[in-house]
């Protein structure tokens, strides 16, 4: 049932992204090295390997890369997106024409390393918050063009997703507030027009703003760059009347203290924009 | 003349990438928060700011994001891609309808932070190699869909580019060699067919392979995961007969020693796949 | 400020839709009639006219059609999207090369007539519910490829938007419930994984189901095909604990009675899928 | 052989339109409700049903929607595009993973309801003209982006197609005539340049114009907004020398009288731009 | 008024084709030679020159190439598409940043040389038929992706266009006839379903087939590979009852004799698929 | 192993080009002639035939055209790209629904005739240079949109490819030199920035320039429009220190003399921009 929870991007949405990456790598003339150096009838078997431990994400993209380059390649996956693995773990085995494997290798690994890096970074925060009610959430600070995949990687790491874009939820931030003339004006204007299926969150910078938001009935509030002490005060003040999201400079070292304040969500941009790529590779079998 | 050396991606190539990122963020309904909360006649002025020191790259993408959202936005850039800046430096000023600024903000900053992170990581390696002849080069380990921009970021950081894809140069790696039956067979097969405008590089894992490559006249050789001692031996052996590229696990701590062996190029995947995002933001002017 | 409330689709999102319609009409050879029959130097002035009364939507698309065919065409708009007009009202004036006007005319009018038809149908329902708290909402029963524009037309007619697609909100319908094994199982499974910025609505067919949904704390409930009597019972039962949306066979004749039951929302598929096109035309000025 | 007469759009042309509709509905995150609520191993069987009587069109689009979402879905069609059915008729049966059926359902039904509505509206006019030689033809007043499919729906309803765009036939209308300086000038200019495979039709508003068109040998003439009396006079005057198309405000109530005047074609914009959607649904089988 | 007759492809249709050609040439990294070798502030002036005599076509594409690479380039055109020029004629002058001129040069010239070659080849046939009523027409034997432009080049050379594709006119060829069971069956089947705005032409291989086609009232007939003697017999037999198109192995040497038989049209595939590129170049001004 | 040498474009790169050509031919309504005239159950068998002798290229595109129109068509290829064939040679056999064969026929043949024409023209030059070391190379003077395929056709004809675009190699031409202020300045500026995987070629017009290029160590030099005598002098001067490419007005009649001067490469634009289409056809089998 794990798969249900993660819901990987539909091939309908994934394939165009992988295709674009393959086009980017194949250029106009294609893989000239493999075409000119490797005889067309050489077959090979190779293992997709995680050289370091971490949380896996991107095997669906690896599968797409191999399939799009050559539908005759056979891929056997032995680990699933979302699994935590130890160092030097074989994740999958691919078998077929050597040229095709070589042509798709780099693109497949680029996705796998990038997304597993994000999943691993997310999982590191999630692990720190165990036993608290705080959930780790992502932001819109994602790599251009890869948001759908990166948000999936966050789910693989045990996080939950914040909004996917500017259109599927409202987040009224400080600059909106000042342009609107205050929290009350902003929220009232939003409520006048927004549909009932759109959630509204308001970002506050101070406890005063928090009180103002609560007064007018805001139910989801982002506490931006609050100190631990202020976070505790905020949780006490709110007392269950709203969901609270702590935001700002969250690291593996600081996240536990934030979680223990009692906030509901902790958002991190770094898990998507600054995760270290997982070290993954393709090892050809030799007999 | 700095600009000449860097040659930023032509708008013709850049704009589609920025457009796709904007589409990804605007979704179907567009920026509902700004549209519903910010009155249409509110104008604003804001500064693009680097909060931490580093090497800047991506102001051209920021410019594109603002222009594509609203051609009436006025952007004044005070720093150029490739410049090194200190903390809290104003990079650019944007002025115009507040809604448009808010709608383009995140996409512009995502590009700027991501690419400046790569430029900064590259520059860190370049700085370590000062005084040696070694140049820092990138790899094909780039984020899917952003290779052109990331290679530009490497140039901004003072590095030079390796090939852009599978088609514009040959790189005969270990798996090609084993599929072809050895270095001699692989190189001869390549020479038989490849055009005279395509460079050929061969990857070797041992000094024996290096000698074999030299014997058959290979002029560009990648030394994969050689120890410092072996790199020195390789440089001595080659004695100017070929360009040498050192590859494998290069870090800021190890790069100087590698450079001092006398190799011509040092390639790093980490500068593109694992750079930390630069902390950049948009500060609205208040009067 | 009306414009704020309506927030028309950004040109960034609108232009590709209008471009596709122009390509569909121009085909390979373009407008051969105008090219071969109308001398290239003939200029014209024409009025976009609503021949019947109704609520206008689509002038932004008309503007795009003229601009994309020829940026030199001058368009002066005298009415705005969302305005109610009487019969034979001049909505806009266009002036410039006669050929360009003739080439863009049909596409512009097709958008205007289609969207104004939807806005008018929506407004007819909205007018019937005046004085009640019920808001008219749309559905996903939209014309393929035009959802963004049709949802805008609903806003122009005074309605509010339901979700834009399968991804921006959850609507758990009867078939989901039966596949999941009941309301409780479905909702619990959803809550386990869904992000905090996604709203969840549950569709119920009976008062029993309504009670079950309330018990587990569902806050937005669709009452599907309830009789007026049952709607009243539902409103009484809920007593403010959840938002209620009435759905199923809503017409201008029945909507008032539904609204008077006290539900919060009334959804209609017919306003988007079966609206009659508004009769609009282009009258060339003669002097 | 019925299929020959109708020639449905080639999958090569249909699939991109259905894909775009699916992308529009799936958005970035895909069908979150089905993914999170319905277990991945639940299979289902469902029937595509017409709840009201009418002429069917769009089963090819339904097939494409299910196939594009999941090639493993099995669809058995029991009725064909162009067939007339009674109320509550099962049109097709689909079987496979419940999630996939739920994800494709709305898009498939949106096409089917929209196109069957057009086929039914066309058939209503065709039925009224039985026994006369008049054929019902469509116009360019189609929904943007769907012209190819809507023209196919008109064929399914028993109508024939007018031109598909501005490029595949000439239709010289009133505004062209005035810009050109009269019928003779316009037609002569057209003949000078147009290829021999392009048909030319001229729109006339009066019997005088009709005579002028006949004199210069025009063979296809549109009679725009003629009274029944004038249509009869026109038919008598022409006496077989040209094909005549009656145009303007055709309804089910007026079409018979128009057909009986002896015109060859009767064109209607309403069959494409104002048809009521057919009420279709998907009923899940229960055992 | 010449321009009216030729009606060049609308920028809306032309620009995507030129863009694709520029993308093909710029690849991923753009014009590295100009970027690295030519200082960014060097301006230049250059002349587009026809080195050999011929009929010009493609200046609109040249204009698009320069404009798309850099809107600041200034282009002054001194000759028009469709003009016949002598050797070493300056066709246009371009002025602006040297880099931009160099980057767009090859793509612009590729279009100009290719299309002027077609216009020149067409004009050569047209010149041979002067004084006869025969018009030169093209075929669907065009270069993939360039049909719209090549048909425009045929018009520039004085020819007229046959159908643009499989959809805008019917051409019943020998293989259709044999599949249908004969001319009568084929034509009757076509008439049963085809709209009144679609022309129908039948290809015949013998005088017997010609008679059969005439009997059933076919009005446009292609005489495929008829001898001169048979063409004359065909013209005499038809005696104005149908338009006749001679087809098959038309060359500059044979076309006059074919034209003098009295046929209405002579079609040539060679003018589009085998025309010699016109020798055009870009001469930089030196001062 | 021949196939290895030729490396046809990957389907991933070829299919979009063939798709675009099919879309261009099918237009909006598809192949109306086949749909309306040929019964849907008629099957056919046909042979792809070369009517004239030559070198074949494009069977992969023919295969793609048939497959994309109908995956059920069966194609048996009896000749391979790169083979030389005599007149009236059957190249392939296709079998399946007659309509599908007829719909794909023209597009498939257009590719085959065009590319085989280029392969044949290339082979004619290659044959003339037999016994010399000179290799025939292509240029960027290719048909817009078809460069990848035309470069493949050159390989099929026995030639080798020059660079694929402006980005994958540097070619410093006369206008770059004058903008840069001379060969030395240009080359030094290039070397300062260009990556080690990019080849640099310099075009020279005189023996003086050749000497200057040699002095600064240029290793690939294009001799533009040199006389035979000057080519010989150039070869003698260079004496193996650089690769030499002769360029300018190469024909079948002049190429041998050029090759015998001892140059390494001879480039020709005519083989791609002015090749005569090979006469190919589709013969339906009759039983």
Over residues E245-256, the pLDDT tens digits come to: 999 989 999 999
Verify that A189 and A107 share a domain, yes or no: no
**Chains in touch with B (≥3 Cβ pairs < 8 A):** A, C, D, E, F
Verify that C136 and C81 share a domain, yes or no: no
Query: With DSSP H G I counted as helix, E B as strand and the rest as coil, what are the percentages for chain E, rounded to 5?
Result: 45, 20, 35
Verify that B55 and B78 share a domain, yes or no: yes
Model pLDDT, residue D183: 94
CA distance A147 to chain D (A): 9
CA distance B13 to chain C (A): 18
Task: Select from F103, F109, F144 the Cβ nearest to the Cβ of E17.
Answer: F144
Q: CB of A115 within 8 A of CB of A275?
A: no
Verify that F21 and F115 share a domain, yes or no: yes
**Whole-angstrom distance, CA of residue B44 vs CA of residue A175:** 10
Model pLDDT, residue F4: 54
Chain D residues with CB-CB distance to E245 below 8 A: 196
* Regions in chain B scoring below 50 on pLDDT: 1-3
**Where in the sequence is the domain holding F166, given as residue range(s)?**
128-273
**Chains in touch with C (≥3 Cβ pairs < 8 A):** A, B, D, E, F
- Angle, helix C11-26 to helix E11-26, in steps of 10 degrees: 110
Nearest CA in chain A to D41: A1
F interface with C, Cβ–Cβ below 8 Å: 24, 27-28
Over residues F152-178, the pLDDT tens digits come to: 999 999 999 999 999 999 999 999 998
Model pLDDT, residue B6: 84
**Whole-angstrom distance, CA of residue D63 vs CA of residue D76:** 9
Q: What is the ipTM of this complex?
A: 0.96
Number of domains in chain B: 2
Is E173 part of the annotated catalytic residue set?
yes
CA distance A30 to chain E (A): 13
Model pLDDT, residue E277: 98
Verify that D155 and D120 share a domain, yes or no: no
CA distance D27 to chain B (A): 7
Over residues B242-262, the pLDDT tens digits come to: 999 999 989 999 999 999 999
Chain B residues with CB-CB distance to C82 below 8 A: none
pLDDT at C4 over 80: no
Nearest CA in chain E to F38: E180
Over residues C205-220, the pLDDT tens digits come to: 999 999 999 999 999 9
B interface with C, Cβ–Cβ below 8 Å: 19, 22-23, 26-32, 35-36, 38-40, 68-69, 103
> C196 and A243 in contact by Cβ < 8 A?
yes
Task: Select from D161, D192, D198 the Cβ nearest to the Cβ of E5.
Answer: D192
A interface with E, Cβ–Cβ below 8 Å: 24, 27-28
Task: Select from B32, B35, B69 the Cβ nearest to the Cβ of C12.
Answer: B69
Residue F81 CA: distances (Å) to CA of A27, A64, C167, F149, F274? 22, 29, 48, 12, 20
Verify that F137 and F115 share a domain, yes or no: no
pLDDT at A265 over 90: yes
**Chains in touch with A (≥3 Cβ pairs < 8 A):** B, C, D, E, F
Best mutation target, F28, F29, F30, to test chain C (most C CBs within 10 A): F28
Over residues F126-144, the pLDDT tens digits come to: 999 999 999 999 999 999 9
> A29 and F148 in contact by Cβ < 8 A?
yes
> B35 and C1 in contact by Cβ < 8 A?
no
Nearest CA in chain F to D166: F28
Q: CB of D204 within 8 A of CB of D224?
A: yes
Three-class HEC string of chain B: CHHHHHCCCCHHHHHHHHHHHHHHHHCCCCCHHHHHHCCCCCEEEEEEEECCCEECCCHHHHHHHHHHHCCCCEEEECCCCCCEECCCEEEEEEEEEHHHHHHHHHHHHHHHHHHHHHHHHHHHHHHHCCCCCCEEECCCCCCCCCHHHHHHHHHHCCCECCCCCCCCCEEECHHHHHHHCCHHHHHHHHHHHCCCCECEEEEECCHHHHHHHHHCCCCEEEEECCCHHHHHHHHHHHCCCCEEEEECCCCCCCHHHHHCCCCCEEECCHHHHCCCCCCEEEEECCC
Buried b (16+ CB within 10 A) or exposed e, C123-146: bbbbbbbeebebbbbbbbbbbbbb
CA distance F161 to chain B (A): 5
Which tokens in the block code for residue F2? 């021949």
Residue F111 CA: distances (Å) to CA of E164, F145, F161? 17, 12, 20
Chain C residues with CB-CB distance to A163 below 8 A: 195, 197
The whole-model pTM stands at 0.96
> D148 and F22 in contact by Cβ < 8 A?
no
Verify that B56 and B183 share a domain, yes or no: no
Model pLDDT, residue A4: 54
Chain D residues with CB-CB distance to E167 below 8 A: 164, 168
Model pLDDT, residue C3: 45
Kindly name the residue from A51, A52, A106, A189 that is annotated as catalytic. A106
Best mutation target, B29, B35, B98, to test chain C (most C CBs within 10 A): B29
Kindly report the CATH number assigned to the domain that includes residue F269: 3.20.20.70
Verify that D67 and D185 share a domain, yes or no: no
**Chains in touch with E (≥3 Cβ pairs < 8 A):** A, B, C, D, F
For residue A160, the 8-state DSSP code is: B
> A144 and B186 in contact by Cβ < 8 A?
no
Chain C residues with CB-CB distance to D173 below 8 A: 33
pLDDT at A93 over 70: yes
Chain A residues with CB-CB distance to C163 below 8 A: 195, 197
Model pLDDT, residue D286: 77
Verify that B86 and B21 share a domain, yes or no: yes
Kindly name the residue from B140, B147, B173, B189 that is annotated as catalytic. B173
Verify that F117 and F40 share a domain, yes or no: yes
Verify that D17 and D32 share a domain, yes or no: yes
Which tokens in the block code for residue C203? 């569709």
Best mutation target, A29, A38, A97, to test chain F (most F CBs within 10 A): A29
> C179 and D113 in contact by Cβ < 8 A?
no
Residue B14, φ and ψ in degrees, nearest 5: -80, -45
> E169 and D265 in contact by Cβ < 8 A?
no
Is E260 part of the annotated catalytic residue set?
no
Tens-of-pLDDT digits for all 287 residues of chain D?
A: 334 568 899 998 999 999 999 999 999 999 999 999 999 899 999 999 999 999 999 999 999 999 999 999 999 999 999 999 999 999 999 999 999 999 999 999 999 999 999 999 999 999 999 999 999 999 999 999 999 999 999 999 999 999 999 999 999 999 999 888 899 999 999 988 888 999 999 999 999 999 999 999 999 999 999 999 999 999 999 999 999 999 998 999 999 999 999 999 999 999 999 999 999 999 999 75
CA distance A121 to chain B (A): 12
Verify that A191 and A152 share a domain, yes or no: yes
**Whole-angstrom distance, CA of residue B81 vs CA of residue B155:** 10
Model pLDDT, residue A194: 85
Chain D residues with CB-CB distance to E169 below 8 A: 168, 197-198
**Chains in touch with F (≥3 Cβ pairs < 8 A):** A, B, C, D, E
Residue C20 CA: distances (Å) to CA of B18, C23, E12? 21, 5, 11
Best mutation target, A170, A171, A196, A217, to test chain C (most C CBs within 10 A): A196
Q: CB of B116 within 8 A of CB of B280?
A: yes
**Whole-angstrom distance, CA of residue A22 vs CA of residue A104:** 7
Model pLDDT, residue D287: 57
> pLDDT band at residue A2, thresholds of 50, 70 and 90?
very low
Task: Select from C33, C148, C166 the Cβ nearest to the Cβ of D103.
Answer: C166
* Regions in chain E scoring below 70 on pLDDT: 1-5, 287
Question: Which contacts qualify for D213-221: CB closer than 8 Å, 24 or more apart?
Answer: D213/D183, D213/D187, D213/D242, D214/D238, D214/D241, D214/D242, D216/D183, D216/D184, D216/D187, D216/D188, D218/D183, D218/D187, D218/D242, D219/D243, D220/D245, D220/E196, D220/E197, D221/D245
Model pLDDT, residue F112: 98
Is C256 part of the annotated catalytic residue set?
no
Chain F residues with CB-CB distance to E120 below 8 A: none
Tell me the sheet residues that pair with D267: D137, D247
């Amino acid at each position: 049932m794990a798969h249900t929870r993660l819901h990987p991007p539909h091939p309908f949405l994934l394939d165009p992204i992988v295709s674009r990456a393959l086009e980017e790598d194949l250029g106009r003339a294609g893989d000239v090295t493999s075409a000119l150096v490797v005889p067309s009838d050489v077959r090979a078997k190779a293992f997709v390997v995680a050289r370091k431990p971490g949380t896996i994400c991107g095997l669906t993209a690896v599968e797409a890369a191999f399939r799009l380059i050559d539908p005759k390649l056979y891929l056997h996956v032995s680990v699933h997106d979302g699994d935590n693995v130890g160092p030097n773990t074989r994740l999958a085995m691919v078998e077929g024409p050597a040229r095709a494997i070589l042509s798709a290798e780099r693109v497949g690994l680029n996705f796998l390393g990038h997304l597993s890096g994000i999943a691993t970074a997310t999982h590191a925060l999630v692990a720190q918050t165990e036993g608290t009610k705080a959930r780790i959430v992502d932001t819109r600070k994602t790599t251009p063009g890869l948001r759908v995949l990166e948000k999936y990687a966050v789910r693989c790491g045990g996080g939950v997703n914040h909004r996917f874009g500017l259109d599927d939820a409202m987040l009224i931030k400080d600059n909106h507030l000042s342009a609107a003339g205050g929290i009350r004006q902003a929220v009232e204007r939003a409520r006048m027009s927004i549909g009932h299926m759109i959630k509204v969150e308001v970002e506050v910078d101070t406890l005063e703003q928090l009180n103002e938001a609560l007064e007018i009935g805001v139910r989801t509030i982002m506490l931006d760059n609050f100190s631990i002490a202020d976070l505790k005060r905020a949780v006490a003040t709110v007392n269950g009347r709203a969901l609270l999201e702590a935001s700002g400079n969250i690291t593996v070292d600081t996240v536990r203290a934030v979680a223990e304040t009692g906030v509901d969500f902790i958002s991190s941009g770094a898990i998507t924009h600054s995760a270290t790529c997982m070290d993954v590779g393709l090892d050809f079998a030799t007999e």
